[in-house]
Amino acid sequence: MNIVNILEEIEKVDGEIYERLNPRRAAMKAFFGLGKKVALSAAPLALGSMFTKAYGQTAPSAVIDVLNYALTLEYLEYHFYNHSLLAAPGLIPAGAANAAITTIRDHEKAHVDLLTGAIKANGGTPVSFTYAQFDFTAKGTFPTVYSDYNTFLAVAQAFEDTGVRAYKGQATVLKGMPVLTTALQIHSVEARHAAHIRSMRAANGVNIKPWISLGAGGVANDTGIGAVDPVYAGENVDAQAGITITGIATGVTKAAAVECFDEPLAKADVLTIAGLFIK
């Protein structure tokens, strides 16, 4: 036994004990306690107050920036679906399709509320968008987005796959923070949406998998719709953390290697895509 080794080990264990007592931990505990007592509609405010306690009077501006960036995308998605349900009669078939789009719309609204509350409670100014501020034809690229079901679903898929990539791209900014967990919990919901929208397109005759596969001829975009190339830029990489995934085991083809890891997208690239739909 080595005395230095022992001291290091005790220090590590003591560190954890102190962590249990430190303000961030206490703030989280207070938040959990509050969450049980307040109405769900007030939860975003409660979440916000947890951030306040964890990081002082205001969250770091980098965190507020990420939350506002996420909020922008959530508004984009919310208004896109909400308009389809309220103002495009006959676009979405009644029954399962309508129910699924309603479920997704409701999740995007919940994300808008959650992020807005968290930003406000931390002294930040949340962005806000009305439907009128968006142009879901992308300035004429998708003129039939609200009259042709296939086009609507194609744009929906692009939004969901972009959303997944956008949240993933911010993970390192939020590293080690409780808010990272919240972001991950939104991120995987967007991935569930993306898979379902892809399945809805497949049910409508489009050759598309629930996961992002390798495009024809090895391109990154697996949708066959050239207008959404920027949404899938870089999705065809097959090396992860310096490890080549293709052939890592028998049967792992390039397509499987591409499918089994979703790629992040940088904020600037996401905002360029989102900007096509903002007036």
Q: Which stretch binds another protein (CB under 8 A): 36-44, 57-65, 131-139, 267-275?
A: 36-44
- Check binding of 35 to another protein (CB under 8 A): yes
Q: Residue 26 or residue 87: which is nearer to another protein going by CB? A: 26
Q: Residue 155 or residue 245: which is nearer to another protein going by CB? A: 245
Within 47-66, the residues that bind another protein by CB under 8 A are none
Number of residues that bind another protein (CB under 8 A): 82
- Check binding of 201 to another protein (CB under 8 A): no
Within 154-183, the residues that bind another protein by CB under 8 A are 164, 167-168, 171-172, 175-182
Q: How far is the CB of 137 from another protein (least distance, A)?
A: 27
Q: Residue 142 or residue 190: which is nearer to another protein going by CB? A: 190
Q: How far is the CB of 133 from another protein (least distance, A)?
A: 22
How far is 57 from 232, CA to CA, in rounded Å? 39
Q: How far is the CB of 44 from another protein (least distance, A)?
A: 7
List, in sequence order, every beta strand (DSSP E) within 85-126: none
CB 85 within 8 A of CB 102: yes
How far is 129 from 133, CA to CA, in rounded Å? 6
**How many Cβ atoms from other residues are within 10 Å of residue 39's Cβ?**
7
Q: Residue 158 or residue 186: which is nearer to another protein going by CB? A: 186
Within 204-223, the residues that bind another protein by CB under 8 A are 209-211
Q: Residue 28 or residue 227: which is nearer to another protein going by CB? A: 28
Residues paired with 244 in a beta bridge: 239
Q: How far is the CB of 117 from another protein (least distance, A)?
A: 10
Q: Which of 153, 158, 186, 231 binds another protein (CB under 8 A)?
A: 186
Closest of 252, 251, 269, 249 to residue 260, by C-alpha = 252
Helix, strand, or coil here: 244?
Answer: strand
Within 89-118, the residues that bind another protein by CB under 8 A are 96, 99-100, 103-104, 106-111, 113-114
User: In 3-state terms, the chain is what percent helix, strand and coil (to 5)?
Assistant: 65, 0, 35
Q: Residue 190 or residue 269: which is nearer to another protein going by CB? A: 190
Q: Which stretch binds another protein (CB under 8 A): 38-46, 57-65, 127-135, 267-275?
A: 38-46
Distances from the Cα of 146 to the Cαs of 118, 135, 244, in angstroms? 32, 11, 42
How far is 233 from 220, CA to CA, in rounded Å? 6
Q: Which of 140, 251, 268, 279 binds another protein (CB under 8 A)?
A: 251
**Residue 93 carries which DSSP code?**
P
Q: Which residues contact 197 (CB under 8 A, 6 or more apart)?
A: 104, 153, 156, 157, 160
Helix, strand, or coil here: 240?
Answer: strand
